[in-house]
Structure 1
Amino acid sequence: MLSRLPARVVALRAKVFEKVNGDNAITFPNAQVGPERFEELYGHPAANGRSRGAGLSDLFWYWLSPGPEVHQEHLEAGPRYDDVARTTRTFLAGSSEALAALAARCTAHVLDEVITERVTRVRLRDLMMPVWAEYFYELVFGEPCPREARDLIVGHADDVVTSLKCTGLRHPARRAKLTRYLRERLPDVRHPLPRTLSETEQVHYLQGTYFNTAVVQMSEAMAHLLLALAQHPEVAERIDDDRYFAHVLDETFRLYPLFGIAHRITTADISLDEQTTFPAGSVLCFNYPAYHATGYADPQRFDPDRWQSTAARTAHHIPFGIAANRPCPAWRLSPLAMRAATREVLRRVTLHSPVTHTRSLPSRGPCLLVRDGRVPSWRLTLMRVRDRCEDVWLSVVQLVLGTAMVLHAHRLRLAGRYFDTDREIS
């Protein structure tokens, strides 16, 4: 009975979140627009509204605050978005060698602190957050990250992702500490910040883009990748092959996409054919996991070798979104940095974990880092039992806290009230 509880609670949570969307929200792929037309609809020029007019936006703004109105993912199209996107590309630019070397150096620095025993138990997401806090701090400020700043960044990013996963409530005061720090450091950034933003908005841009989204997404991605390697040692043994690593990364992103659902608001009527029309103001919800599960044999199996005969560009596979509708700005940087960080980890330890691996990963990826390859069986057994108990407990926590935050976000209406004031959104 208890083993079936998490799945039932997850299904109940899904129903709660569906209510946020309202009656004008449609999730794809579905019977009307199947996976073969998923990207066509996603890339339609009129599927470009970001926040205005969607009840779901209030929830995302609630989770991402402070400064969700200047978050690159949620800015409406126009000069401000263009200015922000151009700035982000500048900060993330660099030679492949330099970007990879920085990732290896930051990973080594954190591992030197963490690995003090022959067997070290970690949560992979927690392990990787300081790595990417240091990494993006250096990209922004051009100098090694001091411990004070790293602690503020990690505290902020962890608070964001914990609330997003509904395993804890958000703590605005904790996030405000990083805001105050970045305001003091604003003159020290390496590149000019968007001129279309006020000083406060520039601070929020830094906080949201690099020390929220970038740190959280890279930590989540690495947690999934390292956990997959821990549970597939035959794959980990081949990771030095660059071509094979690309297959492993494609398979990790396919099976465990970082985005669950991306929502877009139609800014004009969309007519795909005579039978399929979506009026302006429709909320289109694009379900990444469902799309990534179509078009593959045995889609729930982790199999990097499937990519030897499958081209990512023609498969149902959009780990960084699609070029026609704001792809992730880190699409080039992420694979380079992740490959360097992964190899630095595997150069020092072997990975072992018997825990359940799900896309949402509320457990944060429990794992053993072992220096000499010998794994005490009792530790794996204890980890497995603990994970099963946590699975039940966390599913209930997610339902309760998720429902509470949905209601709180609905009451605050952060996005709705922002646009109700007829502010300039372009």
Structure 2
Amino acid sequence: MVSSGPKQATADTWWLPRGVVALRGRIFEKVNGDRTLTLPNARYGPEVFERVYAHPAANGRSAGAGLSDLFWYWLSPGPEVHQEHLEPGERYEDVAAATRRMLAGNSAELSAAAARAVARVLDTVPDTRISLVRLRDLVMPAWAEFAYELVFREPCPPHARDLITAHSTDVINALKCTGLRHPRRRARLTAYLRERVAAGDVRHELPASLSLPEQVHFLQGTMFNTAVVQLSEATAHVLLALARHREVQRRVAGSPDDDRYLTHVLDETMRLYPLFGIAHRITTGDIPLDEDTTLPAGSVVCFSYPAYHATGYDRPDVFDPDRWDTLSAKDAHHIPFGVAANRPCPAWRLSPLVLRAAVREVLRRFELDSTASHTRSNPHRAPCLLIPRGLSPEPRRLDALRAFVRVRDGVEDVTRGVRQLVLGTVMVLHARRLRPAARYFEEPPAGRCPVAHGNGGNR
């Protein structure tokens, strides 16, 4: 789970005037310019999506796409060494190998480590009353600790957890356009990691092809941004889906040893609410689309995960984990971790393991209930009621809390949608002015400077 596309910056809300939603969408589409193809579409369906995604020439990552400037702006510092945005070659292979080493481990030990991290967070939630939380905010410190332990092989100190959480929150808020980026906040984590790397505290071999500052940025971007953000988003989606589908939640909680059904729940959640919105690639050669049409080299292809995941299913908009009783994730239109032929997510094995452990730990302690909307972009951070196991809340009080969540969510949709439009426009324009990716690739290799914050970024 290594990239969040521009679709994450657009919340699906019927409260906003249609003109505002349409305007926001056009702003992000214009970033790529005219040489752009989004797949699947009305002419080219899921089969073309699959064929082009797996094509060897669909391998450009950053050079030559206007959208790259926006991603690099959002992901700074160090987007030039972010695993998802490195161009193919020896440098990428070196970085990818280091990532795989950090994510490797015994399945039982990884699951136990995730459960412990989530348990420490849940210990702070009262067990004598109902709590209203934002699920993404609740679990992000847990995944910050988990990622820290993967890298340093030691318990995570509170100071480091807070730095990682603040950094990851700043990145995801910028990606969703619910807040501007804060380079100085991110720089505090950079400084901390620089000291630790220089002291030799990382318990893994770091990419030898990277300088020390680049190794720091690699850790910050891959392990303490993408890993933490995507695990937090995935956990929030699964728990919110369970909170909104109480019969599914009861079945999962009532069968703590049934990993098969919980895996179906994860598959259905990632199908309906994929973490990837748009994955963009730049073609390095011609790619045939059909007998009459060829996509020329230098084109930008935007692969829409939500559109692809909606094809080939009965009632694709319905949350139905039981559909996976007769479906194979291998054969279905379902690529939550990308495709094997084009850099699959390095956490494809680890993520389901630790997500199952996290969900089990939460359901062991709490019942979940939410009347908030559930969209793929999840800009509201998943409001949810946590009801301690064994507590029998008075029905009228519970109904009042559920009504409050629903009304507040509707009101926030309006203000948040306008804020996303305004802040998204500001950041798109700022990224286009700074051109971090374009400037990086315009420099000769010997003269390239690491891309940090771009003239100080947003204050």
The TM tier, using the shorter chain, reads over 0.9
Q: 1:180 and 2:191 equivalent?
A: yes
Q: Deviations over 1:277-323 (max 9, x none)?
A: 11110000001101111111111110001111111111111100000
Structure 1 residue ranges (4+ consecutive) displaced by more than 4 angstroms after TM superposition: none
Q: Which moved more, 1:269-278 or 1:378-387?
A: 269-278
Deviation of the 1:21 alpha carbon: 0.7
Q: 1:26 to 1:108 in 2, by over 3 A?
A: same
Q: Deviations over 1:327-375 (max 9, x none)?
A: 0000000000000010000000100100010010110000111112536
1:215 maps to what in 2? 228
Q: 1:403 and 2:425 equivalent?
A: yes
On the 8 A contact 1:167/1:394 being kept in 2, the answer is yes
2:248 maps to what in 1? 235
Q: 1:34 and 2:69 equivalent?
A: no
1:145 maps to what in 2? 156
Secondary structure of 2:280's counterpart equals strand
On the 8 A contact 1:349/1:373 being kept in 2, the answer is no
User: Which structure 2 residues correspond to residues 6-25 of structure 1 after superposition, within 5 A?
Assistant: 8-25=19-36
What code does the residue aligned with 1:415 have?
A: A
Identity %: 67
Deviation of the 1:270 alpha carbon: 1.1
Q: Deviations over 1:10-37 (max 9, x none)?
A: 3321111010010001111023421122
Q: Which moved more, 1:209-218 or 1:239-248?
A: 239-248
2:169 maps to what in 1? 158
Secondary structure of 2:251's counterpart equals coil
1:414 maps to what in 2? 436
What code does the residue aligned with 1:189 have?
A: V
Secondary structure of 2:206's counterpart equals coil
TM-score (norm: length of structure 2)? 0.90
* CA distance in structure 2 between the partners assigned to 1:119 and 1:153 by the alignment: 28
* CA distance in structure 2 between the partners assigned to 1:6 and 1:309 by the alignment: 40
* CA distance in structure 1 between the partners assigned to 2:17 and 2:152 by the alignment: 43
Secondary structure of 1:286's counterpart equals strand
On the 8 A contact 2:269/2:319 being kept in 1, the answer is yes
Counterpart among 86, 89, 92 of residue 78 in structure 1: 89
Q: How many residues align?
A: 424
What code does the residue aligned with 1:203 have?
A: V
User: Which structure 2 residues correspond to residues 385-400 of structure 1 after superposition, within 5 A?
Assistant: 385-400=407-422
* CA distance in structure 2 between the partners assigned to 1:13 and 1:373 by the alignment: 44
Counterpart among 206, 214, 222 of residue 193 in structure 1: 206
Deviation of the 1:9 alpha carbon: 3.0
Secondary structure of 2:207's counterpart equals coil
Q: CA RMSD in A?
A: 1.3
Counterpart among 215, 228, 237 of residue 224 in structure 1: 237
Counterpart among 99, 123, 127 of residue 112 in structure 1: 123
Secondary structure of 1:264's counterpart equals strand
Q: Deviations over 1:381-426 (max 9, x none)?
A: 111110000011111000010011000000000000000003279x
On the 8 A contact 1:350/1:373 being kept in 2, the answer is no
1:308 maps to what in 2? 325
1:205 maps to what in 2? 218
Q: 1:368 and 2:368 equivalent?
A: no
Q: 1:394 to 1:314 in 2, by over 3 A?
A: same
2:5 maps to what in 1? none
Counterpart among 378, 381, 388 of residue 400 in structure 2: 378
* CA distance in structure 1 between the partners assigned to 2:25 and 2:281 by the alignment: 19
Q: 1:337 and 2:354 equivalent?
A: yes
* CA distance in structure 1 between the partners assigned to 2:293 and 2:106 by the alignment: 45
* CA distance in structure 2 between the partners assigned to 1:223 and 1:174 by the alignment: 24
Q: Which moved more, 1:2-11 or 1:285-294?
A: 2-11
Secondary structure of 1:33's counterpart equals coil
Deviation of the 1:268 alpha carbon: 0.8
What code does the residue aligned with 1:351 have?
A: L
On the 8 A contact 2:16/2:413 being kept in 1, the answer is no
* CA distance in structure 2 between the partners assigned to 1:7 and 1:88 by the alignment: 42
Q: 1:353 to 1:333 in 2, by over 3 A?
A: same
* CA distance in structure 2 between the partners assigned to 1:262 and 1:324 by the alignment: 14
* CA distance in structure 2 between the partners assigned to 1:20 and 1:108 by the alignment: 42
Q: Which runs of 5+ in 2 are unaligned?
A: 1-12, 449-459
* CA distance in structure 1 between the partners assigned to 2:416 and 2:214 by the alignment: 35
* CA distance in structure 2 between the partners assigned to 1:422 and 1:329 by the alignment: 30
What code does the residue aligned with 1:59 have?
A: L
Q: Deviations over 1:50-89 (max 9, x none)?
A: 0000000000000000000000000000010000000100
Q: 1:343 to 1:269 in 2, by over 3 A?
A: same
Q: 1:280 to 1:81 in 2, by over 3 A?
A: same
Q: Which runs of 5+ in 1 are unaligned?
A: none
2:337 maps to what in 1? 320
